[in-house]
Amino acid sequence: ICDFAVGQSRQLYGLTIQSERPSHRLMEQWHPLGVVAIISAFNFPVAVWSWNAALAAVCGDSTIWKPSEKTPLTAIAVIKIAQRVCKQTGADPAIFSLLIGDGPSVGQKLAGDSRVPLVSATGSTRMGFDVAKTVHGRLGKSILELGGNNALIVSKSADLDMAVRSIFFGSVGTAGQRCTSTRRVIVHDSVADNLREQLLGAYKSMRIGNPLDRNTLVGPLIDPGSVDNVQKSIERVKGEGGEILFGGEKLDGSEFPGGCYMRPCLANARPEFEIVKHETFGPLLYLMNYSDFDEALTMHNDVPQGLSSSIFTNDMREAEKFLSTVGSDCGIANVNAGTSGAEIGGAFGGEKQTGGGRESGSDSWKSYMRRQTNTINFSTELPLAQGITFGDDASSATA
């Protein structure tokens, strides 16, 4: 991301705009905002900071980082690296500042401080609502990257081997603790049984354990409370009429210390279940069937969140419709690629209760700057725009 940001720093383009007034020119340029607050979550404790901090730095801003109170050590470590680099290059290390603390004592104060024109916050939808009310209550700016309830459609023409591998990685990778983790699979009736059998085989083969062991595929959740939250969601699936196909149990013993391990869960569900519309931040995957493609799109979009989405199909019409205005309502929509694993070159973020913010690539840099429109008059006259005259001598009017 630092390499990307350095390249981006030479492409912070403004505009030259043709003026309607003779001997005038309009110009648009971008200026730094000043201080940017970064509030990050536990699950990608360095990446989210870097997406924001690297772009903010090349835009001329300084950053104050409030990491998750669950992951302070990685924040301290990476800030010390940034400090060392700044000293080696003659920059002020305060460009990258760090505040450790919880939401009420640090996060809310950053969000409410008028000296911080932009707050970039990553976390739950509940947290996003609180940050938005505070920041927008003082007419500040925000970048919100919140919950994702990401779905993957498997059509009747899909390459099932590719689909299964993408679903498996998207649902159990990082123990289902990515904002882009695959939460829902919407599969065509004609291939549903085959897909379920292949997924069951993959789930039964996964190795769970120490994340420092290269042979481990699934590690722990962040804390016992997260395991409990997934367990509660599993019980709600059962209560609403769903079927647990595999997993879901807590794992104990010397191989699974700290109460942070569980077996990833695969469940049959219905799109109308209330729990399906809620993001469970852990390894719980819902399987749902469809018969008509428009039905699949309706099921896909019928959740409050709108981060990442995917379709596996070899039907060009289905692929194009999925990417069209009547298709996925998410900020990220992929064809024959999973919901997880976004590239930094594209803008990252989502719609609806995901918050609408964009980080990383494309023109996301504009969020870290303020736009200024300039008028340059290189004549000796002062005409008004839109042909307006003021007073007897139009040329003496003030532009």
Q: Is 75 exposed, middle or buried (0-12, 13-18, 19+ CB in 10 A)?
A: buried
In this predicted structure, what is the pLDDT of residue 341? 82
The confidence score (pLDDT) of residue 342 equals 83
| Choices 3.40.605.10, 3.40.50.12780, 3.30.70.2740, 1.10.3730.10: CATH for 1-146+355-376 | 3.40.605.10
10: left (phi over 0), alpha (psi -120 to 50) or beta: alpha
Catalytic residue list contains 145: yes
Q: Does residue 394 surpass a pLDDT of 60? A: no
Per-residue pLDDT at 152 exceeds 70: yes
Residue percentage of the chain with pLDDT more than 90: 96
Q: What is the CATH number of domain 150-343?
A: 3.40.309.10
Sign of CA dihedral 369, 8, 82, 73: positive
Which pLDDT belongs to residue 78?
Answer: 97
Q: What is the pLDDT of residues 183-195, one digit of tens each?
A: 999 999 999 999 9
Distances (CA, A) of 328 to 159, 307, 308: 20, 10, 9
Read off the pTM: 0.95
Mean pLDDT of the chain: 96
Q: In whole angstroms, what is the distance from residue 224 CA to residue 165 CA?
A: 28
- In the block, which residue shows the tokens 């990258």? 96
pLDDT in tens, 264-298: 999 999 999 999 999 999 999 999 999 999 999 99
pLDDT, tens only, 61-97: 999 999 999 999 999 999 999 999 999 999 999 999 9
- Cα three-residue angle 224-230-235, rounded to 5 degrees: 125
CB–CB of 327/213 below 8 Å? no
Strand-pair partners of 285:
266
Cα distance between residue 56 and residue 389, in whole Å: 44
Burial 227-249 (b: 16+ CB within 10 A, else e): bebbbebbebbeeeebebbbbbe
Which listed residue (59, 179, 265, 330) is catalytic? 179
pLDDT, mean of residues 122-136: 96
The domain limits of the chain are: 1-146+355-376, 150-343
Cα separation, 79 vs 57, in Å, equals 14
Residue 392: pLDDT band (50, 70, 90) is: low
CB 24 within 8 A of CB 377: yes
Q: Pairing mode, if any, of strands 359-360 and 347-348?
A: antiparallel
Distances, alpha carbon 62 to alpha carbons 55, 242, 383, 399, in Å: 10, 49, 41, 36
Cα separation, 316 vs 398, in Å, equals: 58
Among the listed residues 59, 145, 279, 318, the single catalytic one is 145
Under the banding of pLDDT at 50, 70 and 90, the label for residue 320 is very high
Grade residue 337 by pLDDT with cuts at 50, 70 and 90: very high
| Residue keyed to tokens 């990257």 | 145
Closest to 168 in 3D by CA, of 134, 119, 135, 206: 206
Q: Distance of CA 279 to CAs 183, 233, 265, Å?
A: 8, 9, 14
381 is catalytic: no
Which 8-state DSSP code applies to residue 106? Answer: I
Mean pLDDT of 322-337: 98
Is 216 a residue whose pLDDT tops 70? yes
pLDDT at position 387 is 87
Residue reference for tokens 């016992």: 224
Compute the distance between CA of residue 169 and CA of residue 353 in angstroms, rounded to an integer: 24
Nearest residue to 67 via CA among 39, 107, 90, 46: 39
What is the pLDDT at residue 12? 97
